[in-house]
Amino acid sequence: LVPAQQLVSWGAAGAMVFGGVVPYIPQYRDIRRTQNAEGFSTYVCLVLLVANILRILFWFGRRFESPLLWQSIIMIITMLLMLKLCTEVRVSNELNVKRRSFAAADSKDEEIKAPPKRSYLDFDLNYFWHWSKFTDYVQCVLTFTGVTGYITYLWLDSSLFVETLGFLAVFTEAMLGVPQLYRNYQNRSTEGMSVKMVLMWTSGDTFKTVYFILNQAPFQFSICGLLQVFVDIAILLQVYLYSYYPQKPVSHTAHPASTKAL
């Protein structure tokens, strides 16, 4: 029985580490095959990057199980790969669009003639997370990691700060489906979104929540896991609603980038 228990334990740990990235495999393949990323909101990547960076920082203040730590590392790598693909697809599909960046653009741009000079950081909220190069996303992630890491280092001895950091990490992850939920509501459709991805979200989040409860993980993990499952169910309800009761898409008059899922 002991080897069997060990196998079950190892299997559960492996599912926790790699199970979170499985839902994005069909979405990644669909985007790569169709060269269309409009149905996928890259704000999902933003939410997961923030959540998992905060979770890693939380680990330094309160050591939780190693599989959860490795899960965060693997998820960060996966989200960066998703961002890279989505950015390349969007830029290739949008011609003659002004380049937007996180860092200052060079005075000479090979692709766009005479781009306007801008300050060191392009913090126009209308274009935040709608940049034209993958390196801009990497710079933003590194900046966020550096700032939050420094703050955590200063307040690591405060139990209140550490517990708050843990809550923010799992609460942010619980909001994972909200960008996709809002994107579907804007489009009045779930076309372009991988239903397989959402089904895997739901099954994975259910398993993860049960894992948190059975292994007595910090209470923040269990509470926000349940919230995440509810959001997944809401997206599945959208799939049913927009499939059987199609609605007229809402027209947008904003700038071209705002009409894209990216």
Q: What is the pLDDT of residue 57?
A: 94
252 or 261, greater pLDDT = 252
Distance CA 166, CA 54 (A): 7
Which residues face 121 on adjacent strands? 103
Average pLDDT over residues 101-124: 49
**DSSP per residue, 148-206:** HHHHHHHHTT-HHHHHHHHHHHHHHHHTTHHHHHHHHHHHTS-TTS-HHHHHHHHHHHH
Q: What is the pLDDT of residue 183?
A: 80
How is the chain split into domains, by residue range? Answer: 1-99+132-244
**Residues in Cβ contact with 95 at an 8 Å cutoff, skipping those fewer than 6 apart:** none
Q: What is the pLDDT of residue 112?
A: 44
Q: What mean pLDDT is reported for the chain?
A: 78
Rg for the chain, CA atoms, rounded: 20
Q: What is the pLDDT of residues 211-233, one digit of tens each?
A: 777 777 777 777 888 888 888 88
What percentage of the chain carries pLDDT values higher than 70? Answer: 79
Q: What is the pLDDT of residue 100?
A: 64
Average pLDDT over residues 113-142: 70
